[in-house]
């Protein structure tokens, strides 16, 4: 394989692998912009992957499977919303519990699905006419699965919603100063529930895109830590959907790199010990990114772009 084909294949596969991260990180950005931290992305993605795969098997329709993935993870996220918004419990503890709850549900309910890999309908892939023929850009961006094209649309729409619409302005205020919204008669509790649910649905779509498109099939723990990478992307992007999309595709390419390097001839790339190191790269890169972001945040006096009320429960009448 020549260098140009190697780069093209790596980037195309990286975009596909980064799409679940894009959906998950965008959903978390919405929830955190509303002031609710949810560390349970990994569990919600697992529930979505399992539910989507099960529904697609039962109905023969991958679109119904994707809808089931979003609904299942969204319902699970409401547990977190109830515990943190209504009961005002610690958001970190609740999110970690949600992660374990989701992983347990997916493991138990998904056990009979492991052997069904080849018998379940998948989301379709198709090239975009005309654009597919553009040199380099065509094979990278326009010969993908339909869920990848949905990701291309989601990121700019989420950015426009957050930064250029009245509901987006209220969302930003919800995470910065919920008391101000409350004084205007805008419901803080209902909106925090809505955005946590929306974040859960997008995490479910992320999981469903894994089991129905990117790596079709269901196995226990198939997300392999991608929920945590999505959390890192939220911080890396400074709560900006477009930056999160760019980071998601970058991490997707890094995740794909170890597999593509195995196709390069020579004993160096066939060394199994090198393979273990390369598999570690996405997670090592996540840690390095968080260190850099934390360092820059400290240099700015602790201002890193996080919503001021993130992680803080809101009680009417109390000063923030």
The mean pLDDT value of the chain amounts to 88
When mean pLDDT is compared across 18-32, 102-116, 271-285, 305-319, the lowest value belongs to 271-285
pTM above 0.85, yes or no: yes
* Per-residue pLDDT, 303: 55
Q: Token digits for 36?
A: 């609710």
Between CA 251 and CA 240 the distance in angstroms is 16
* Per-residue pLDDT, 268: 52
The label of the residue with tokens 């099960």 reads 54
pLDDT digits (tens, 9 = 90+) for 16-40: 999 999 999 999 999 999 999 999 9
* Per-residue pLDDT, 298: 64
pLDDT band at 320 (very low <50, low <70, confident <90, very high): very low
* Per-residue pLDDT, 171: 96
Task: Count CA atoms within 13 Å of residue 320 on its CB side.
Answer: 19
Domains detected in the chain: 3-299 (1.10.3470)
Residue 277: is its pLDDT beyond 60?
yes
Percent of the chain with pLDDT over 70: 88
């Amino acid at each position: 394989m020549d260098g140009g084909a190697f780069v093209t294949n790596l980037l195309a596969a990286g975009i596909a692998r980064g799409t679940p991260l894009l959906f998950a990180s965008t959903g978390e950005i919405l929830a955190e912009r509303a002031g609710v931290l949810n560390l349970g992305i990994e569990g919600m993605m697992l529930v979505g992957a399992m539910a989507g795969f099960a529904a697609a098997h039962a109905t023969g329709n991958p679109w119904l499977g994707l809808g089931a993935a979003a609904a299942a993870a969204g319902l699970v996220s409401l547990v977190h919303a109830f515990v943190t918004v209504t009961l005002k419990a610690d958001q970190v503890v609740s999110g970690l519990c949600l992660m374990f709850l989701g992983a347990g549900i997916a493991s138990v309910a998904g056990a009979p699905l492991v052997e069904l890999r080849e018998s379940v309908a998948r989301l379709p892939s198709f090239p975009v006419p005309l654009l597919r023929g553009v040199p380099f850009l065509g094979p990278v961006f326009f010969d993908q699965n339909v869920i990848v094209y949905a990701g291309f649309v989601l990121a700019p729409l989420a950015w426009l919603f957050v930064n250029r619409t009245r509901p987006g302005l209220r969302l930003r205020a919800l995470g910065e100063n919920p008391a101000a919204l409350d004084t205007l008669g805008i419901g803080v509790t209902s909106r925090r529930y809505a955005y946590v649910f929306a974040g859960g649905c997008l995490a479910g779509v992320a999981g469903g895109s894994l089991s129905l498109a990117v790596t079709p099939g269901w196995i226990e723990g198939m997300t392999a830590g991608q929920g945590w990478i999505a959390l890192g992307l939220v911080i890396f992007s400074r709560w900006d959907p477009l930056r999160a999309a760019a980071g998601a595709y970058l991490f997707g390419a890094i995740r794909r790199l170890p597999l593509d390097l195995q196709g390069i001839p020579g004993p160096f790339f066939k060394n199994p010990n090198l393979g273990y190191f390369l598999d570690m790269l996405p997670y090592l890169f996540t840690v390095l990114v968080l260190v850099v972001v934390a360092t820059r945040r400290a240099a700015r006096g602790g201002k890193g772009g996080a919503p001021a009320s993130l992680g803080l429960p809101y009680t009417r009448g109390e000063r923030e």
